[in-house]
Amino acid sequence: MLLATWNINGVKARSEALLAWLDERKPDIVGLQEIKSVDESFPRADLKARGWHVETHGQKGFNGVALLSRQPPATIERGLPGDATDEQSRFIEGTWEVGGRTLRFASLYLPNGNPIGTEKFTYKLAWMKRLEAHARRRLGEEMPFLLAGDYNVIPQSEDVKNPAAWAEDALYQPESREAYRRLLNLGLTDAVRASSDQAETYTFWDYQAGAWQKNNGIRIDHVLLSPEAAATLRSVAIDKHVRAWEKPSDHVPVVVEIDPAALR
């Protein structure tokens, strides 16, 4: 069973690339981030024609997350709990019945947080604290789940080509990285690093300064698994080739393979 996450960076602008990748990869569940579309104008007709079920939590012009799946979800929840005043669309979570067990999958778009020293960085850290609390609650349910998406956090120096260039960026601040480590310390598994310690493993290349051509990338798209989900992990792939397609997103898909028979 293939589960994937992709910051599409505008679903309308990348609809052809999305359809091409779905046809090529044939995943079972996909979390999209930064769809930049309200729910009503999400381009779902072509997806439905190909057999995809679509759930969105959209926002005009920026943010926005979605879940695509071959089978319709049993439940859908929109918005990260913990702040009823938060109007930004950054979190959607669904459940699916797989092999007689409920599997939970969330697509998240964590705040960027720049510039440092402003309310944007404060919001980023507060959002991460809410995510930690939510993950703790989900872990208490002892259900297999995945928290997948654009975390806007570079966890370690090996996750960036040029660490010095990011020293003043919110993605690489000690507070951001510490908040990410707190998630792992709850008992979650970083799927990419659980499967490989290969150098220059990136998921994002900026559009500027020839970053793609120079492989000047960072790893900020993560899939975190509960212990029950981690026990089913079979492989992880980063579909780097998609970045070379026409009109690409600056992110690429991260694909996790799990064994449904091993769900417990």
Annotated binding-site positions: 7, 34, 150, 152, 250-251
Which residues are part of a known binding site for Mg(2+)?
7, 34, 150, 152, 250-251
Give residues with Cβ within 8 angstroms of 88, minimum separation 6: 59, 63, 111
CA distances from 134 to 106, 139, 215, 238, 245 (A): 11, 9, 35, 27, 36
Q: How far apart are CA 222 and CA 154, in angstroms?
A: 10
Active site residues: 109, 150, 251
Q: 126-147 in b/e burial notation, b at 16+ Cβ within 10 A?
A: bbbebbbebbeebbeeebbbbb
For residue 51, give the amino acid letter: G
**Which candidate, 58, 66, 163, 176, places its Cα nearest to that of 111?**
176
List for the chain the helix, strand, coil content (%; round to 5).
Answer: 30, 25, 40
DSSP character string of 78-108: ES-TT-TT-----EEEEEEEETTEEEEEEEE
Q: In this structure, what token pair is assigned to residue 30?
A: 């996909």
CB 81: neighbour CB atoms within 10 A?
14
Q: How far apart are CA 68 and CA 29, in angstroms?
A: 6
